[in-house]
Structure 1
Amino acid sequence: MTSRSRILICTALTAAVIGLWPVSIVRAQQPLATIADINSDVAQTLEQGSRLEQQKRWAEALSHYEEALRAHPERPELKQRLTMVRAHYDVARRYADVTYTKAIHTITEREALAIYEEVLLKVSAHYVHQPKWHDILRQGTTNFDAALTEPIFVTSNNLALTAEQHNQLQRDIRFWTERQAIEDRHQAKELVEAIARTVKQRYAISPQAVILEYASGAAAALDEYSSFLTDSQMDEIFAQIEGNFVGLGVELKTEPAGLLVVNIISGGPADLGGIRAGDRIIQVDDKSSSQVSPDQLADLLRGSEGSLVTVILRDAQGVERTLKLTRRRVEVPSVEDVRIIDTTAGVGYFKLTSFQKTTARDVDAALWKLHDQGMRSLVIDLRGNPGGLLKAAVDVADKFVNDGLIVATRGRSPREDFDHKGQVQGTWRVPLVILIDHDSASASEILAGAVRDHKRGTVVGEKSYGKGSVQGIFPLAVSRTGIRLTTAKWYTPSGQAISGMGIAPDIAVQKSAKPVDGQLSRTPGEDAIFNTGLQTARTMTTASK
């Protein structure tokens, strides 16, 4: 089990699961969109987002605005909505976590202040940029303001504010936030302490609840990848790093009608119990999707190893069934679908789904299996891979890059500056193709960038996600909480910073249509990225004879 000490990750975490869909090769440059087209698109995006917000579908709204900002990164109205939606999403997710709500009611005001103070200290010491302390305080106020409108926050903290009191409290916290400039973390801590005590006196709201909203806001103010982490969220991250977790073995997408099952881990309780992709979980034990939020429903699936859970599912035809399953430890493979895809040309293939502690070992096993089956060229599929451990990405790249720089990290602190280099020993010289799409992120981009810059292989697909930063996971001393902080930027061997830019493929391929939820295309004839990669590998095999 991974100890709760600082680790470095390169991953793009999204609120909802994004699937793969059929693609087509780019054959001609598309005409540039007009300003009128862009404005119309943004207006439609805001209208759709507003509907999601009104229904408090925060996870979907978050993904909606994130996708919109990738298309229109300079639109301030999209950034504003994303900031507000993320505040609501964070509140709802934290209060759906029973470990967090328990902590709120058991820690003291002094302990809550210690958490906030330690968060500020970590930001001051490790964040990649110089902190803007007043912005950090403002975001705390935004988080608290959002919390006051969330029913789960109101219920958990036994609030009984009238509409007039609510409005006055909002005016008060805005006034307190803006009445003086905040120039360092000590001033921020002192003001938050004063705000919490005043809110307690005037409005009978727990100071612990107020302070922890400011702690969450302190991380959220930094960038989209930094965040405050509850006990359960810390466990989830370390489980991802280890490559195993206790649960049912399902990948879920939150929806108002329940939890959509988008993937099943082979051999897990869900797989053995008969749950299939496309099913919807509409009830867990005695709580239905009409009684609790999707995040709360997902939280109810968690439990100790060996414990029982009853789930009610509805399939695509609307037929409901009830299953009683036993939670157990599930191994999550990072390498899947290892096979020879062209026996004549000797083209090997595997899909790399994440970068975790076991990935380098899993890749070794896949390579030797394919070698024994006559592999003469190799296709590695990184589509949809959000990233993971920095070290795992370096270790995998080192298997193919002969020597030289794989990736360089640079931070505000010299402690974050490091050049990760490959070693000659143990390098595989098999002709190589890397498949990427716009969901290939961070650690995936490290591997693709190293292969491309060293001209070690051919990168095929779409331009990648564009996440060129490294996060550290820092456990906090009180209440088993933690913080994820961006500590450095990373650069490809050629010195390219890919944040917001992505890795451009050598052979461009573009997606063209979305699938029905839970029904991903598996037909090779419909998969132009796969087919283009296969043909490229065949050509490499012929050229290497």
Structure 2
Amino acid sequence: MQIFQFENYTMVLDLPNAASGGSVEKDFPMFAQSITRKLLAPLFAMVSLVLVLGVTLSLAQETRLVLPTTDSPQINTQTPPTAPALLIATDIELRDENFPVKAPPELIQTAIRPSAVKPVNNPSGYTPAPTYTIPAYHTPNATPAPIGNGMYETDPEKLQLRITARYQDPKMLAFLNSTSMRQMSSLFSEASRRIDTRHVNPLSYEKRTDAALEGLLRALNNPEFLKVAGAQGTDANLQQAISNISQMIGANPARSAEDALGTMQWAADTLNRNLGLRQEVVALEFMNATLDSLDRFSAFVPNKASASMEPSASTNDQTAGLEERIVGVGIEMKQHDQGALIMGTIEGGSAAATGLKKGDILTAINHQNLTGMGLGQVAELISGSEGTTVHIVINRAGKKYEATLLRQKVYVSSVANSQMVNDTVGYIRVKQFSDSSTEDLEKAMLKLYNNSQMDTLVLDMRGNPGGLLTEAIQLSDLFLPSGVIVSTKGRTAADNSTESAKRTKTWSLPLIVLIDENSASASEIFAAAIQENGRGVIVGRHSYGKGTVQTHFPLNTASAVLKLTTAKFYAPSGREMAGVGVTPDYAVTDVNDETATTLADDNDVRTAVQIAQTGLPNQLAQAAGQGKRLSVPMATSPRVFEELPAPATER
């Protein structure tokens, strides 16, 4: 099963488990050496419970690029933490397999504790780790230029939600259940090397380490972290632990990877002695907090070593979300007080065949009430292997209905709801950018065109979290006769590219694109390409502003990948999109897309239809075909258009 989620909206589909690559040390967790047998049983029981009810919550979304085995990368994209739409992909991410397959054997050694800390008993037998060359840009106290507005998470509540999500994630819990402090030390060393050499804008070790300690302070106030870590003791013990960590911040600045590793080991040992916390859990949170300090999209993702190496750009970090043939019941859900609000069904899935529809509230699964559950927990309950069934209860307009759904193979097309809004305006929704998005969109357009009088197309990118960058480029190329589509810039030559329109034949159909605050990454690339090349009209609300490229690095020391921000992408005009996004030509502020039962009731679509009637999209399409670019005057529609938009002007 895969869960594709921003903060409050999720797509749930059961997927076959991918074989995990690499090797994971099977050492018995060292924390067992310092805990009595009496405490082990309830701890493992607690972990098992969390594994059953856990939630996979991905707050970091991203655009993904994938590096093939050659030196020349191909580009793809994936996206936002708050999108109310089908979540499939995230930011641009690169997947890099060009690093050694096996980790140097010396990486299994660990570092010494910070010298400023009073020595304590050393049950784990820490030994100095070998040094490696730190890149020249890693000067202590160096202050890198910001990646872009909104790239760093600073909201305390969201940071706590991120910690909670980590320790409700079944994959993270499974990793913790099998790891050891020895492996965590090796893993941290490997992650440090990747950050040093590949992150687009790495912080100094001093800043990273202080941020990691501050992250531990947040975790010490997080019930989910304390539960998984096996916290014991009194409030006085907790306050002592907080004091010890607080005093270390800034007291002994880390100047190297070895210093940072030593601080991690010291923190793990200290919190184990103060509160009985499992050292591996502390070490994992130290590493996660280090990654959080880089930007909101870099992350450690367990069980992803065998993930697709296809480039992608999106805010969702689930690469499997780009798969088009999956196993599941085929529903899209959003958080609801009673359980989960169904936002749509997948054609060909048992949910659609049974008659589930948008607006139904999922209240129970297999006789278990869903009130108060997170989306991830709901997803876990509805997941299962192919051929099995799941019993559900829904609330539809105050009435209770029950059904049994079959988990089966489903083709998940990224193109949906193709229909005519009226006699001349067609509508197609693009939910994500996956392998067949361009092909499926062309088929849908041809079907509408050949069976109607369609003379304008409304392309709905609302809630589209992104996906494959190559598909965003190809889909843009369907409509652009010429012009730059997108460019990427990073620290290495492989991170730098410029993509331009090059198809000999393109669609001249007048185009209106709908976007909202949850349109991110690849969908923003498409919208910016259409807007800045004067090819169509953008309607809706300001987009998410993802704008960064993540590379997925398969790890040598764990069955996982390290997702690092390695580049940023730029609109055709050359402007940076990170933290900026796309501003619509016509803003619609009276939003009702979630409650509208038909397209005719949807204010965004109604606005698009009125714009189509003015002839503006046709004017832009004709000019683009003649090699001209027209500017569209921006306007705001509090409800829908009461005045016709001003004509476009040549620029």
TM-score, length basis structure 1: 0.78
Among 283, 303, 306, which residue is 2:364 paired with?
Answer: 283
Please state if 1:428 is matched with 2:507: yes
Shift of 1:434: 2.6
What residue in structure 1 maps to residue 84 of structure 2?
17
Cα separation, partners in 2 of 1:4 and 1:375, compared to 1, 3 Å: farther
What residue in structure 1 maps to residue 630 of structure 2?
none
Shift of 1:376: 4.2
DSSP 3-state at the match of 1:383: coil
Please state if 1:123 is matched with 2:171: no
- Residue identity matched to 1:519: T
Deviations 1:405-438 (A, max 9, x none): 2111001233211111221334333333333333
CA distance in 1 between partners of 2:362 and 2:302 (Å) = 24
CA distance in 1 between partners of 2:325 and 2:502 (Å) = 29
What residue in structure 2 maps to residue 259 of structure 1?
340
Among 300, 308, 325, which residue is 2:389 paired with?
Answer: 308
Cα separation, partners in 2 of 1:396 and 1:478, compared to 1, 3 Å: same
DSSP 3-state at the match of 1:420: strand
- Gaps of at least 5 residues in structure 2 are 1-15, 22-64, 67-74, 87-147, 308-316, 624-651
DSSP 3-state at the match of 2:174: helix
Cα separation, partners in 2 of 1:294 and 1:203, compared to 1, 3 Å: same
Considering only CA atoms, is the larger Rg found in Structure 1 or Structure 2?
2
Please state if 1:106 is matched with 2:178: yes
Please state if 1:246 is matched with 2:327: yes
Shift of 1:213: 0.8
What residue in structure 2 maps to residue 456 of structure 1?
535
Shift of 1:232: 8.0
Please state if 1:372 is matched with 2:446: no
Shift of 1:341: 4.2
Cα separation, partners in 2 of 1:193 and 1:502, compared to 1, 3 Å: same
What residue in structure 2 maps to residue 395 of structure 1?
474
CA distance in 2 between partners of 1:524 and 1:400 (Å) = 26
Q: Which has the higher helix share?
A: 1
Contact 1:97 1:299 in 2 (8 A): no
Contact 2:421 2:599 in 1 (8 A): no
Among 491, 498, 501, which residue is 2:580 paired with?
Answer: 501
Among 405, 410, 413, which residue is 2:484 paired with?
Answer: 405
Shift of 1:162: 1.2
Shift of 1:218: 2.1
Matches within 5 A, 1:57-72: none
Contact 2:596 2:602 in 1 (8 A): no
Cα separation, partners in 2 of 1:445 and 1:261, compared to 1, 3 Å: same
CA distance in 2 between partners of 1:462 and 1:294 (Å) = 26
Among 328, 332, 350, which residue is 2:412 paired with?
Answer: 332
- Residue identity matched to 2:576: A
What residue in structure 2 maps to residue 148 of structure 1?
220
Cα separation, partners in 2 of 1:85 and 1:287, compared to 1, 3 Å: farther
CA distance in 2 between partners of 1:98 and 1:4 (Å) = 15
Deviations 1:476-495 (A, max 9, x none): 33443333322211112221
- Residue identity matched to 1:295: G
DSSP 3-state at the match of 1:482: strand
Cα separation, partners in 2 of 1:240 and 1:544, compared to 1, 3 Å: same
Deviations 1:136-193 (A, max 9, x none): 3334334433333444333333322211111111111222233222234332222112
Shift of 1:112: 1.9
CA distance in 2 between partners of 1:381 and 1:348 (Å) = 11
CA distance in 2 between partners of 1:380 and 1:352 (Å) = 7
Among 85, 94, 98, which residue is 2:166 paired with?
Answer: 94
What residue in structure 2 maps to residue 522 of structure 1?
598
DSSP 3-state at the match of 1:283: strand
Please state if 1:222 is matched with 2:300: no
CA distance in 2 between partners of 1:377 and 1:436 (Å) = 17
Aligned CA RMSD, in angstroms, stands at: 3.4
CA distance in 1 between partners of 2:360 and 2:303 (Å) = 29
What residue in structure 1 maps to residue 281 of structure 2?
209
CA distance in 1 between partners of 2:494 and 2:293 (Å) = 23
CA distance in 2 between partners of 1:274 and 1:213 (Å) = 43
Please state if 1:512 is matched with 2:590: yes
What residue in structure 1 maps to residue 498 of structure 2?
419
Among 435, 459, 481, which residue is 1:357 paired with?
Answer: 435
Among 270, 281, 285, which residue is 1:198 paired with?
Answer: 270
Q: Number of paired residues?
A: 482
Among 335, 352, 361, which residue is 1:271 paired with?
Answer: 352
TM-score, length basis structure 2: 0.66
What residue in structure 2 maps to residue 171 of structure 1?
243
Deviations 1:472-522 (A, max 9, x none): 2333334433333222111122212223333233x413222457xx63352
What residue in structure 1 maps to residue 517 of structure 2?
438
Among 258, 261, 277, which residue is 1:189 paired with?
Answer: 261
Contact 1:435 1:460 in 2 (8 A): yes
Shift of 1:322: 4.1
DSSP 3-state at the match of 1:221: helix
What residue in structure 2 maps to residue 488 of structure 1?
567
CA distance in 1 between partners of 2:426 and 2:397 (Å) = 35
Contact 2:325 2:410 in 1 (8 A): yes
Contact 2:324 2:411 in 1 (8 A): yes
Cα separation, partners in 2 of 1:519 and 1:160, compared to 1, 3 Å: same
Deviations 1:100-139 (A, max 9, x none): 2222121121122233233323322222213243333334
Shift of 1:446: 1.2
DSSP 3-state at the match of 1:483: strand
CA distance in 1 between partners of 2:449 and 2:296 (Å) = 41
CA distance in 1 between partners of 2:586 and 2:165 (Å) = 38
CA distance in 2 between partners of 1:470 and 1:265 (Å) = 29
Deviations 1:15-66 (A, max 9, x none): 56369xxxxxxxxxxxxxxxxxxxxxxxxxxxxxxxxxxxxxxxxxxxxxxx
CA distance in 1 between partners of 2:622 and 2:493 (Å) = 44
Cα separation, partners in 2 of 1:285 and 1:333, compared to 1, 3 Å: same
CA distance in 2 between partners of 1:4 and 1:537 (Å) = 54
CA distance in 2 between partners of 1:311 and 1:382 (Å) = 30
Contact 1:437 1:463 in 2 (8 A): yes
- Residue identity matched to 1:366: A
Cα separation, partners in 2 of 1:12 and 1:459, compared to 1, 3 Å: same
Identity rate, percent: 27
Please state if 1:475 is matched with 2:554: yes
Contact 2:334 2:375 in 1 (8 A): no
Contact 2:215 2:286 in 1 (8 A): yes
Cα separation, partners in 2 of 1:315 and 1:119, compared to 1, 3 Å: farther
CA distance in 1 between partners of 2:500 and 2:149 (Å) = 36
